[in-house]
Structure 1
């Protein structure tokens, strides 16, 4: 089953479009998880077990794991492995906002899809189609292209007119 079918099936099962962000910033994880040898994973596991009946997807933000180096990435991998083992019907989205050139994309794809095992990744389209095409070529995976965000200041770029429409609509 491809990721889109997986997502649609899960939406039908859960009667929900809810996507839970696993934005596990180590500074804000509740105290009871901080003493665990794997605090981000322990917190994520708790969130997953409390919410899995209601969600269609989980979306960890890479920055919170990358910021902790090897330990953070190991805990992200543990989280995705846990989801694949315990809740394989739920889509996993890597919130990474990637897109670059050539071999850099190949490395991102290998890391996000092949090593970490995500079903999908968020991409930004501002480097053009050739920057996102390698992700789109992975028919066994999904890409979420970010056209509009609520980030402060994002309107400075997103609302620029292109052919009479805001850039985010043009994209």
Structure 2
């Protein structure tokens, strides 16, 4: 999916919501445990209920890898289900890969060729040759970690060099030598608030993947105030606040209602473009 197609979906659905499929078998409704594949059954129900209100899904690979082969099969079935039934959805593998070049090339082959995903989160710490193998695929996206929402982000990302440049700013500037706003996005946590203003000074036209609204307490209004650009430029993720909003047999209905609530808030923000 290219940038224009993504923006067209945002306008059509009046939404820039990404639903995070952080599916934990210990948290899904107990009645699903009798299913042959409980994780896929949960994901399928969540997708069917929320698809009208979102433009993207983001499975977090850790939740699938933790179950070994069964988890990978559930992940693969989830991707196949999305590609077949909801081809307009932008699918992000939240895998945070990043290794030496030939290893990164294998990761790229896995997620972009074998799994047919649209985007992959990538860690920039090892530099250019660990990132560029992901950038050789047409209409596929690298989503580079820039400024995350976790407490430990202060340990490295906000440290400054002798010129006063913060590390996340160096990542933003340097990485633009490798990719552009047609194939690279950045992860910026919703809890960073007004820091979006600083980020937009460096990457005014790139899309930002924004986790941290909902259960983590980030403000959608603040993110939009400082982070939105002329093509929206935001994909805002919510996971737990939507998918685990209810633990009864009505879990999917409630998830759909929660997604619709967020979509309505986003529609208001998009009218400001």
Scaled by the length of structure 1, the TM-score of the pair is 0.94
Tell me the residue number matched to 1:144.
143
* Superposition RMSD in Å: 1.3
Tell me the residue number matched to 1:73.
72
Partners of 2:2 and 2:89 in 1: CA distance: 10
The runs of at least 4 aligned residues of structure 1 exceeding 3 Å deviation read none
Tell me the residue number matched to 1:159.
158
For structure 1, which runs of at least 5 residues remain unmatched after alignment?
Answer: none
CA contact (8 A) 1:3 1:91 kept: no
Partners of 2:24 and 2:4 in 1: CA distance: 31
Residue 138 of structure 1, CA deviation: 1.5
Tell me the residue number matched to 1:168.
168
TM-superposition CA deviations, 1:140-163 (whole Å, max 9, x none): 311111101112212111111133
Tell me the residue number matched to 2:85.
86
Max radius of gyration: which structure? 2
Aligned ranges 1:123-142 → 2 under 5 Å: 123-142=122-141
Equivalenced residue count is 170
The structure, 1 or 2, with the larger RCO (C-alpha pairs under 8 Å, 6+ apart) is 2
TM-superposition CA deviations, 1:42-73 (whole Å, max 9, x none): 11111111111111110000111111111111
For structure 2, which runs of at least 5 residues remain unmatched after alignment?
Answer: 172-273
TM-superposition CA deviations, 1:88-134 (whole Å, max 9, x none): 00100000011111221122112111222211101111111111001
What SS does the corresponding residue of 1:122 show, helix, strand or coil? strand
Partners of 2:125 and 2:5 in 1: CA distance: 28
